[in-house]
């Protein structure tokens, strides 16, 4: 019987489309590097299928100790069966202590599945990772109950510890290439005939620039304080005057007022912007975790709203009134 301590090293799955590596895998490598330095584990990147050299170089720059290349049949398109199987086979062979997968749509699709195959614990959406030397467990720290509390989650007995992490949660800050990088090549064939969910076709969405807010210079974010859709127009106008784009918090998506692609926060888009102005946003952790702004402004009628803890400048007042005043002032400035 294997002990917990027999499981060593941490893995990061590098999601890619055959051309480029998704940023989340690299972000995870950077963050896990720090954790592995604490735990003494080695950090391995797992790449399934072909990825161009220059993209693999980006992975190497993140100071990984090794790369596990998986080749074989069944990986032409993402499918749960072959990808989950690959990790199960690899994990049984190498017994890693932890496996991290980017919390993309497909990452969240297959990671919990191989966790069941391995009969182990799986967590999702951690915002911080800490190591408890006493137990040897990773502490996955994440907001819960709509951001009202932070919960520490551990996998106390089982291994590997599986975690999916949302894109943008951790910073991409490569620590530089290691002198020696171990290379492991595994051929794991999955019979394409045995793939139960087959890719037929893919049609890319029309690109609407208004819906691409991740790196907008300025974002006007509207929260649940908004009365109804009718009152939305002024915020669009303000965003336009500031040369920015409009975003929202989860309740506005749930209320059907704005599309999912404009939902800022951990379960939506993570944004990096110069100026962020929130109106009627209460400031739940799930939302603020998704905002990386040079200057953060908050407007809300509740003086005790948590959002004021995150802002550089705050105004307590009626969101519509303040917005209208700002529009007037900005119009006057532009004249």
Segment interacting with another protein (CB under 8 A) among 59-67, 94-102, 145-153, 176-184: 145-153
Residue 331 touches another protein, criterion: CB under 8 A:
no
Q: How far is the CB of 196 from another protein (least distance, A)?
A: 3
- The closest of 33, 56, 30, 31 to 43, measured between CA atoms, is 33
Q: How far is the CB of 177 from another protein (least distance, A)?
A: 29
Residue 81 touches another protein, criterion: CB under 8 A:
yes
Residue among 80, 174, 177, 214 that touches another protein (CB under 8 A): 80
Q: Are 10 and 41 in contact, with CB atoms under 8 Å apart?
A: yes
Q: 40: which 2 tokens?
A: 């003494």
- The closest of 151, 148, 162 to 128, measured between CA atoms, is 151
Please name the helix (run of DSSP H) or strand (run of DSSP E) that holds residue 282, with its range, or none.
none
Residue 154 touches another protein, criterion: CB under 8 A:
yes
Task: Tell me how far CA of residue 143 lies from CA of 132, 267, 288, in angstroms.
Answer: 19, 11, 11
Residue among 146, 182, 191, 331 that touches another protein (CB under 8 A): 146
Residue 210 touches another protein, criterion: CB under 8 A:
no
Handedness of CA 210, 213, 215, 217 (dihedral sign): positive
Q: How far is the CB of 72 from another protein (least distance, A)?
A: 20
Q: Which is nearer to another protein, 33 or 287 (CB)?
A: 287
- The closest of 29, 70, 24, 328 to 178, measured between CA atoms, is 29
The Cα–Cα gap between 94 and 7 comes to 8
Residue among 54, 187, 208, 228 that touches another protein (CB under 8 A): 228
Residue among 92, 294, 302, 331 that touches another protein (CB under 8 A): 294
The Cα–Cα gap between 70 and 194 comes to 18
Residue among 50, 76, 93, 152 that touches another protein (CB under 8 A): 152
The Cα–Cα gap between 174 and 68 comes to 19
Segment interacting with another protein (CB under 8 A) among 6-14, 44-52, 65-73, 291-299: 291-299
Q: How far is the CB of 211 from another protein (least distance, A)?
A: 11
Residue 73 touches another protein, criterion: CB under 8 A:
no
Residue 238 touches another protein, criterion: CB under 8 A:
no
The Cα–Cα gap between 42 and 94 comes to 12
Footprint (CB under 8 A) of another protein, residues 160-179: none
Residue 153 touches another protein, criterion: CB under 8 A:
yes
Q: Which is nearer to another protein, 40 or 256 (CB)?
A: 256
The Cα–Cα gap between 144 and 138 comes to 18
> Per the omega criterion (within 30 degrees of 0), is the bond before 283 cis?
no
Residue 225: strand, helix, or coil: coil
Q: Which is nearer to another protein, 37 or 194 (CB)?
A: 194
Residue among 40, 171, 200, 208 that touches another protein (CB under 8 A): 200
Contact track, another protein, 100-129, x by CB under 8 A: ----xxx-xxxxxx-xxx-xxxxxxx----
Q: Which is nearer to another protein, 86 or 111 (CB)?
A: 111
Residue among 34, 60, 178, 274 that touches another protein (CB under 8 A): 274
Q: Which is nearer to another protein, 149 or 173 (CB)?
A: 149
Q: Are 220 and 295 in contact, with CB atoms under 8 Å apart?
A: no
The Cα–Cα gap between 256 and 202 comes to 26
Q: Are 153 and 116 in contact, with CB atoms under 8 Å apart?
A: no
Q: 171: which 2 tokens?
A: 């910073």
The Cα–Cα gap between 294 and 276 comes to 8
Residue among 18, 38, 92, 329 that touches another protein (CB under 8 A): 329
């Amino acid at each position: 019987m294997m002990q917990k301590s027999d499981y060593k090293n941490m893995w990061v799955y590098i999601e890619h489309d055959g051309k480029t590596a998704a940023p989340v895998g690299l972000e995870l490598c950077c963050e896990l590097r720090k954790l592995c330095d604490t735990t003494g584990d080695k950090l391995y990147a797992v790449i399934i299928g072909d990825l161009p050299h220059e993209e693999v170089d980006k992975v190497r720059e993140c100071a990984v100790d090794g790369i596990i290349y998986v080749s074989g049949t069944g990986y032409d398109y993402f499918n749960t069966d072959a990808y989950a199987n690959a990790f199960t086979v690899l994990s049984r062979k190498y017994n890693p202590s932890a496996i991290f997968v980017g919390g993309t749509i497909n990452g969240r699709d297959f990671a919990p599945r191989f966790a069941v195959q391995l009969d182990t614990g799986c967590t999702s959406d951690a915002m911080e990772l800490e190591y408890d030397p006493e137990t040897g467990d990773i502490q996955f720290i994440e907001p819960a109950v709509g951001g009202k509390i932070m919960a520490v989650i551990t996998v106390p007995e089982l291994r590997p510890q599986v975690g999916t992490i949302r894109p943008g949660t951790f910073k991409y800050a490569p620590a530089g290439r290691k002198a020696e990088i171990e290379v492991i090549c595994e051929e794991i064939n999955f019979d394409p005939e045995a793939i139960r969910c087959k890719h037929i076709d893919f049609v890319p969405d029309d690109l609407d620039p208004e819906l691409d807010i991740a790196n907008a210079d300025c974002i006007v974010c509207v929260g649940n304080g908004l009365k109804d859709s009718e009152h939305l127009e002024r915020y669009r106008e303000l965003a336009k005057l500031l040369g920015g784009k409009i975003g929202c918090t989860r309740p506005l998506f749930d209320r059907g007022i704005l599309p999912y692609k404009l939902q800022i926060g951990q379960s939506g888009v993570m944004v990096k912007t110069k100026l962020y102005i929130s109106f009627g946003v209460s400031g739940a952790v799930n939302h603020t975790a998704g905002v990386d702004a040079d200057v953060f402004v908050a407007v809300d009628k509740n003086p005790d709203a948590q959002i004021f803890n995150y802002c550089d400048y705050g105004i307590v007042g009626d969101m519509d009134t303040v917005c209208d005043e700002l529009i007037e002032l900005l119009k006057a400035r532009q004249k």
